[in-house]
Chain A
Amino acid sequence: MTDETIPGTDWVTLADLPDARFYRNQNGFLALKAGGRDYRRVTLRRALPFTDPAKYICVIDTEEHEIAVIEDLAALDEDTRALIEAELAVRYFCPEISEVKRIQEKLGTYYLDVAIGAFEKTVAVKDVGKNLKQLEDGALLVTDTDGNRYRIADLGHLARKNLRMLEPYLY
């Protein structure tokens, strides 16, 4: 219980690869040169997508091997960070719901008429106990029947009318 890290694990952080350099390949995909190797395409995955999206991001090659872990985005230089954030935004695409206009129930499916910025959309949600998920930071994650995800950044800042409408479905 005393030692901070567990011995004997192959824990490679980005700092362990001093020559690591992210770049976009000719087709616009994220790539990485590190340890004398050129990974022509890499994937990024967050270990904590909800609570700490800027920390512990795993860099994985096309063979599903982990190359390194980015411990903290904030520690990176600005260009790299921008590259990585852009890539993460693609993987973790999640539109922001700005307003809930109406909620209707039909045979166990809830239809949420929402506004995403200027765009309006109806989101069908089943099993609201599981798919309207409140996150620790006050955000609400909405998963529709197809598995698409939407976010309401801050429930507290939602208009009162919106919140009243949502409240019966939050667990």
Chain B
Amino acid sequence: MPGEVLALLEAQGLTTVDFLLGITGDMDGEGCFRSAWLAFDAKGLYLAFGTEALRRKKQRGKSRTAAVYTLEELQTIPLEAIAKLKVEQYVTTGRLIAEMPPAGTGRADLTGSVGDPSGTVLPGSDDVALTRFSVGKIGDFQQLCSCFNAYKEGRDWETYLPAKDEAACCPKCGQPFPPGKRICPACGKQQSTVRRLFAYFGSYKKEMALVLLTLLLGSAFTVAMPKVSTQLLFDQVLNEGNANPLAWRLAALGWVVLAAAGMRLLDTAMHMLYDYILAIILPKMTYDIKRRIFSSMQRLSVGFYSSKQTGSLMERVTRDAMSIYLFSSEDLPRLVMNVVMLAGELGLMVFLSWKMTLLVLSVLPLMVLLLIFGDRIFRRVHHRIWTASAKLTSLVSDNINGQRVIKAFAKEPDELRRFEGLSGSMAGAEIDQARTESTLFPFITALVFLLSMVVLAVGGLDVLAGKMTVGKLLSFTIYLTMIAEPVDFLSWISNHWARAMDAAHRVFEITDTEPDLPEKEDPVQLTEIRGDVELRELEFAYEPAHPVIRQVSLRVGAGQMLGIVGKTGAGKTTIANLISRLYDAKAGAVLLDGVDVRDLPMAQLRRHIGLVSQDIFLFTGSIADNIRYAKPAAGMAEVMAAAKAAAAHNFIMKLPDAYETRVGSGGQALSGGERQRISIARAILQNPKILILDEATAAMDTATERSIQASLAKLQQGRTTIAIAHRLSTLRDADVLAVIEDGKLTEFGSFRDLLQLRGAFYRLYQIQSQAMAQMRGIGTDGAKEEEKEEDPS
């Protein structure tokens, strides 16, 4: 809460120092946008509404904007009048609701209308709406509720206060960072991006100096060429009325030609040298950038990856690094070269004839204007081509990936039509580009030509009047055509510059992202992990305000097997992810042997937790390598034993290349059950203390599942197993079962306990056993797959 508001509240007679928690809202009870401040202390809950406006203020001589607050309304609700605070969430807004205590105890303070005349209290009838807020504030409001409720119940409310994040603001400008980032969008942009990009060149200072030197020398030779080859030739050697003897003139001719050739050679040599040096530095630099992005990406959590599109990440590693490379290798040296050449050429032109140079310079703005105009058109056309091509690419990629669906719905002609449409618009854009090119460039060329004609006329007059030599005039016209190139270059380089800076910015965004699962600085080192897992009031949300796990507390002893059942989307997988610390809990904790997983070193934790998840990923490589992934040093005997335990050995041996069959993208196609078995073998070989099986056997027939269960049962000694499944048969060996409904733990106990409870678990059991009873006599689940298995290949 801002200090000014506190002062306003003090003026209303409140003692704000006693406030336990204050938050800021942005709406009133009617859903109108308005500043709101909420706080509570030992006496009650205060809701203040008012306005907040930005005014310019003079402070210490500097003009700054500052917020000015006014208070319009203050509601005070005594603490006794509220039993509980809660938040209801709508699509884009939320509402703070007070649950009133049972009838009679001061409820009239709030509204007189609540209460049921019949005397029975319907659920929800004790709810009173306090204020609304936009959905972004929901975290703050939820916190207010938790703190308030805890305080009211006499529990330790301070645990719900957020941890103060000191470094959450940009040290330069004081603005808070955007969530999950550590770069200030205001300060982190342009300039520092350039500087940081150049910092990559830093390790190649010597080479860069050499590149610059060769560039300058090369440009100098290019610029000086016409002076020697044209002016000297015409004015000293070929001019009429030259009094020197023919032999001298021949020798001079030879010298001039030789000098010109020598200069051209030196120029080429310089070019080669700088190309050569750059060719060595740049790939190294690009390698460095790519490596940095990749290693930064390895530090980031699963949450980061699910929030970003795969394509956008891959683009950063490959394409953005490439555009930085292209800019540094092609454009940057040319930029230096062209600036130098333009300066040199203009200087020499002034030296030759300042009058004519002025004439040229007067036309130059027109040319620049024309080029800028052309650049605008090009940018528009380029953008159209780019978007058309991007759409086309994604259409083709969708089409390839979705061939099954397209064929199943006989949509080939429609797909073709879509392709034709997009491809046609791309062709149209390309025609536009070509048209603009073929109009604009001849126009510019003609302009330069016209200009040189004017120069020729003016210069010719001077020559006739004897004020200027023929050689000077000729070399001047040559310089005139030469400056067209740098001018042209400088007019479009800004485009490339912007593109490279954009790419660099995206790259730095990745390398600057702080890992959101920080490793503790002095982690607790457990010498031995027993495998006790405890969830303590665990809460989690993937997105703020959408809680997925609410207040889950349970314990599994070392060596026990916990089964988790629940409907799809109940939060079972999330629990698995939290235990293996792929995400961090929002509140509460996961304890391993009594130690918070956040206090354990990440490597140790992951080594002792084996996770077989629903979506199985096989790396490109052999089956043996995939099984060996967690333990690369494992011998073949171990790999085969693990595969046997996972019931994978037999199907693997049927493949012609057995354990050396290549899987992953472009490799042997495996069925869902086969992939699951490989991933189970991977977890078994890892030999973790805690094994989490998240629907690990869902794609298998019952017989295979049984055989895996049998071998897992043997493996379970001294190992905690957490199995998540829909099929209750999968969990028949579980010591304890947990039923998760809508993120909450509703039932917990042994198989027998839960059946006796006659709750959700019992219903689920009944549904499944009924289904089995109906199927009896028809055949068993997965019989078809088994047939395939038995078929000798």
Contacts and interface: CB of A to CB of B under 8 A. Distances in A.
Partners in one complex: yes
B715 A7 contact: yes
Contacts of A48: 624, 636, 658-660
Interface stretch (A14-22, A52-60, A81-89): A52-60
A158 B653 CA distance: 33
Contacts of B650: 64, 66
B597 interface: no
Interface string B612-654: 0000000000001000000100001110111011000110111
Nearest to B667: A130
Interface in A31-90: 45-52, 55-56, 58, 60, 64, 66, 69, 71
A10 B715 contact: no
A47 B653 contact: yes
Nearest to B631: A1
B15 to A, nearest CB: 60
Contact of A8 (B624, B631, B711): B711
Contacts of B652: 47
B179 interface: no
Contact of B653 (A1, A3, A45, A51): A45
Given A5-B637, A11-B644, A58 B711 contact: no
A52 B607 contact: no
B296 to A, nearest CB: 28
B311 interface: no
Interface string B765-793: 00000000000000000000000001010
Contact of A64 (B624, B666, B792): B792
B503 interface: no
A60 B653 contact: yes
Contacts, number: 72
A47 B641 contact: no
Contacts of A9: 641, 644-645, 711, 714
A118 interface: no
Contacts of B636: 47-48, 52, 55-56
B638 A8 contact: no
A49 B687 CA distance: 27
Contacts of A3: 687
A9 to B, nearest CB: 5
A10 B640 contact: no
Interface string B122-164: 0000000000000000000000000000000000000000000
A66 B641 contact: no
Given A8-B711, A8-B714, A55-B636, A50 B684 contact: no
A130 B654 CA distance: 21
A133 B686 CA distance: 30
B790 A64 contact: yes
Nearest to B681: A6
Interface string B644-688: 110001101110111110000010000000000000000011110
Nearest to A130: B666
B717 to A, nearest CB: 8
Contact of B684 (A6, A11, A46): A6
Nearest to B710: A8
13 contacts: A1-B631, A5-B641, A6-B638, A7-B715, A7-B717, A8-B714, A11-B641, A11-B644, A47-B636, A47-B659, A49-B656, A60-B653, A64-B790
Interface of B: 607, 624, 631, 636-638, 640-642, 644-645, 649-650, 652-654, 656-660, 666, 684-687, 711, 714-715, 717, 790, 792
